[in-house]
Amino acid sequence: MKEPYIERMLRSFVSAMSFLFVMGFASVFYAQNTPLISGGMGFETSTNGGNTSYTPVIMPLLAAPLGDHLLVESRAILLDTVFPKTGKGYDSQHFIALSYLQGDYIATPHVTVVGGYFLIPFGTYNDRLSPIWISNFQDAPLISSLGTMTSGSATGGMLRGNAWSTSKVSIDYAAYFSAGSTNEQFQSSRASGGRVNAYFPHARLEIGTSYGHLLEHKQENFYGAHVWWEPAQVPLRVRSEYAHGEHSQGLWIEGDYRLSQFGGAESLIGRLEPVFRWQQTFRNSPDATDGLPSVDTKRADFGLDYHLPHEVRINTSYARQFSSTGNRNIWETAIVYRFLFPAWRGK
Amino acid sequence: MKSCKHLLIVVSLLAVSATFAQTSNMSAAQPRSDRHEARPKSVHEPQKSEGERVFDENCSRCHNAPEGFSPRISGTIVRHMRVRANLSEKDEQALLRFLNP
């Protein structure tokens, strides 16, 4: 990555943060509406096929409410990967980017208008599970690039909100349009799409479907579906997702079980959380740009997370990946700290 | 390259200072239930409040509850969650009451 690019990205991020800080002063008079800084920082290691890389990463998020209806929010990612060079020694690569910078206007009880640079609502991983302080595994699912239009973000507008909510079901939606942008800070493709979710509180079951249409180059359609289930009486989460593109498709299913029934969530054993994920991708026709493996692939991830006090979590995982190009082992560890505090000190 | 390094150092320092600032800012406001802690005990506890239900069913679907946060940002958190989790207006109000009893 070129250094001037990194400098420009850093300057853009610092400028965006400064802008949000200044804008946030407008909300200081509302007792509970002080702008917040949140996010996660961590140190990750990954050993893939015998090569180990090390990645310190920071993912800061800033949210500033303005008045009664507006929220301005932004998230960035800053990381530096140190990896073995061919031959001898190590090399490193920086990556700094804005994940999103958007304004949210709560127009009616059922409609929020979003404008700016925002995460594409396709499936569940991109806009709900990708922060390092949320995801159970260090690696994104193999199908995470399907439907998210390469960059994962859109430049344009989105309508979203809760369409219908009763004690039995809650239905929400998101629909967006994105313009194509080759700007270094705001890369996006010309695309449109959306997602509809139905949540059944009694069963604690969520079912959703997504659609995306790439409006440039290949004019490609993407379809997705997901099912999440959290049974009420046990600390178990089961998440699954399927995505289909013109050239490939795939699925993942993930379960995590916090051992809090052994002495409570704060006990030595109760802080442990075994996690498991099964993934499968299918290649229908060659496409080097869709981000999925070039051949049919299966992968099983076994993880063990440990929730330390003060918002620190240790993630460890082992994965075995099977494909016709060769099977491989992937070992990963990470320590992640989540922070959440007001943007400035108050009384 | 120098200015790039300086910017990285500044960002790192900000992150470290933020870590210490959080400790001093942490106070009363915090969700009264944790997804993992509440469930086994729920049959022995009083009926859940509406806000607690909203927190349990919406926020906790994606992430664990934070250990605590300043009451000065509770309104911001709720508005952020309203947008991110597509909460209804009624659920937003219930969640705000839950975080600011």
- pLDDT value at residue A16: 62
How many C-beta atoms surround the C-beta of residue A50 within 10 A? 9
Rounded mean pLDDT, B60-84:
91
| Mean pLDDT of the A4-27 span | 60
* Beta carbons of A36 and B73 less than 8 Å apart: yes
Nearest to A255 by CA among A222, A272, A277, A271: A277
Question: Which residues in B lie closer than 8 A to residue A346 (C-beta atoms)?
Answer: 70, 72
B contact test, residue of A28, A75, A118, A162 with most B CBs within 10 A: A162
Tell me, what's the pLDDT at A15? 66
Q: How far is B57 from chain A (nearest CA, A)?
A: 7
At residue B47, the pLDDT reads: 62
**Alpha-carbon distance B56 to A38, whole Å?**
20
A309 to B61: CB separation less than 8 angstroms, yes or no? no
> Using CB atoms and an 8 Å cut-off, which of residues 231-270 of chain A contact chain B?
232-235, 258, 260-261, 264-266, 270
φ, ψ (nearest 5 deg) of residue B67: -70, -25
Put simply, the answer to whether B69 touches A35 (Cβ < 8 Å) is no
ipTM for the complex shown: 0.87
Residue of A104, A195, A341 for testing the chain B interface, max B β-carbons within 10 Å: A341
Tell me, what's the pLDDT at B36?
38
Closest CA to A216 of A184, A255, A177: A177
- Predicted confidence at residue A216, as pLDDT, reads 86
Looking at the predicted structure, is the pLDDT value of residue B49 above 90?
Answer: no
Task: Work out the average pLDDT over A130-151.
Answer: 94
In A66-85, the residues whose Cβ lies within 8 Å of chain B are: 71, 73, 78
Provide the mean pLDDT of chain A: 91
Q: Which residues of B touch A161 (CB under 8 A)?
A: 86
Average pLDDT over residues B19-41: 42
Q: What are the two backbone dihedrals, phi and then psi, of residue A300, each rounded to the nearest 5 degrees? A: -120, 125
Inter-chain touch B76–A41, beta carbons under 8 Å: no
Q: State pLDDT tens for residues A303-325.
A: 999 999 999 999 999 999 999 99
Give the 3-state secondary structure of residue A70: strand
Rounded average pLDDT over B45-59: 79
Contact at 8 Å (CB) between A248 and A292?
yes
Are the beta carbons of A311 and A283 closer than 8 angstroms?
A: no
Contact check, Cβ <8 Å, B37/A266: yes
Share of chain A above pLDDT 90, in %: 80
Q: CB–CB of A32 and B76 under 8 A?
A: yes
Poorest-pLDDT segment among A226-240, A316-330, B20-34: B20-34
**Under the phi-then-psi rule, with left for phi > 0, alpha for psi from -120 to 50, and beta for the rest, what region is A47?**
beta
- Establish if A206 touches chain B: CB-CB under 8 angstroms: yes
Q: If pLDDT is split at 50, 70 and 90, which confidence band does B35 have?
A: very low
Which one is predicted more confidently, B36 or A37? A37
- With a CB cutoff of 8 Å and minimum separation 6, the contacts of A4 are none
> Is A204 in the B-facing interface, judged by CB distances under 8 Å?
yes
User: Which A positions 33-52 lie with beta carbon below 8 A of chain B?
Assistant: 33-37, 41
Residue A200: CB atoms within 10 A of its CB come to: 13
- Mean of the pLDDT values across residues A107-116? 96
Say yes or no: A63 contacts chain B, CB-CB below 8 A. yes
pLDDT in tens, A158-173: 999 999 999 899 999 9
Cβ–Cβ gap A106/B82 under 8 Å: yes
